[in-house]
């Protein structure tokens, strides 16, 4: 069993392992999980209604939000429920920029699955943008990570 000690480190890419991973596990990066997928995103000035329809059409639960080609936020189904519907806002007139999760924490394309799980647990994230420099490479979800790690016996402390 591979176990991680979350109280040791807090910076991405700096987790210390209590035991050595299998060679195949060590080679899997977060980008490996999503590299075959198309990268979807939405402009910050679009409406919630436009985003919700786009997410429904493409069967996705979250979108990276861009302004002038730069990542500025993430908009998710949870944002629709908590920040729009429950708040009594109108989806057709509310802009994504008003209700998105701003300044999301991104992970490098070479980051490990385990480190991403650690970050999600530590900060309560369900989605992480994958970046290489300033370029958006994809978006990984908690489901993606759990599906990858589900067949392997390990735990995240």
**DSSP structure string for 95-121:** BHHHHSEESPPPEETT-BHHHHHHHHH
Contacts 24+ apart (CB under 8 A), 17-20: none
Answer whether residue 16 is part of any domain: no
Answer whether residue 84 is part of any domain: yes
* Token pair of 6 as six digits: 């979350």
121 burial type by CB count under 10 A (0-12 exposed, 13-18 middle, 19+ buried): middle
Read off the pLDDT of each residue in 80-104 and give the average, rounded to a whole number.
Answer: 97
Domain range for 135: 2-8+21-156
Answer whether residue 137 is part of any domain: yes
Tens digit of each residue's pLDDT (9 = 90 or more) over 16-67: 444 444 555 556 899 999 999 999 999 999 999 999 999 999 999 999 999 9
Core vs surface per residue 68-83: b (16+ CB within 10 A) or e: eeebbbbbbeebbeeb
Q: Say how many domains are in the chain.
A: 1
- For the cut 60, the answer to whether the pLDDT of residue 155 exceeds it is no
β strands within 6-152, DSSP E: 42-43, 62-67, 70-76, 101-102, 107-108, 127-132, 135-141
Q: How far apart are CA 154 and CA 36, in angstroms?
A: 26
- Residue 41 is predicted with a pLDDT of 96
For the chain, the C-alpha Rg in angstroms (whole number) is: 17
Q: Which residues contact 88 (CB under 8 A, 6 or more apart)?
A: none
Answer whether residue 33 is part of any domain: yes
Answer whether residue 15 is part of any domain: no
CATH number at residue 143: 3.10.580.10
Read off the pLDDT of each residue in 118-129 and give the average, rounded to a whole number.
Answer: 93
Model pTM? Answer: 0.75
Answer whether residue 68 is part of any domain: yes
């Amino acid at each position: 069993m591979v176990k991680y000690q979350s109280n040791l480190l807090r910076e991405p890419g700096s987790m210390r392992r209590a035991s050595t991973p299998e060679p195949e596990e060590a080679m899997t990066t977060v980008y490996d999980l999503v590299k075959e997928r198309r990268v979807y995103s939405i402009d910050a000035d679009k409406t919630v209604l436009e985003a919700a329809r786009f997410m429904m059409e493409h069967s996705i639960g979250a979108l990276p939000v861009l302004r002038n080609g730069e990542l500025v936020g993430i908009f998710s189904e949870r944002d629709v429920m908590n920040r729009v519907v429950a708040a009594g806002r109108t989806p057709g007139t509310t802009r994504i920029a008003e209700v998105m999760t701003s300044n999301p924490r991104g992970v490098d394309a070479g980051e490990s699955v385990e480190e991403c799980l650690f970050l999600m647990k530590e900060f309560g994230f369900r989605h992480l943008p994958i970046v290489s420099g300033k370029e958006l490479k994809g978006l990984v979800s908690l489901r993606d990570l759990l599906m990858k790690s589900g067949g392997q016996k390990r735990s995240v402390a």
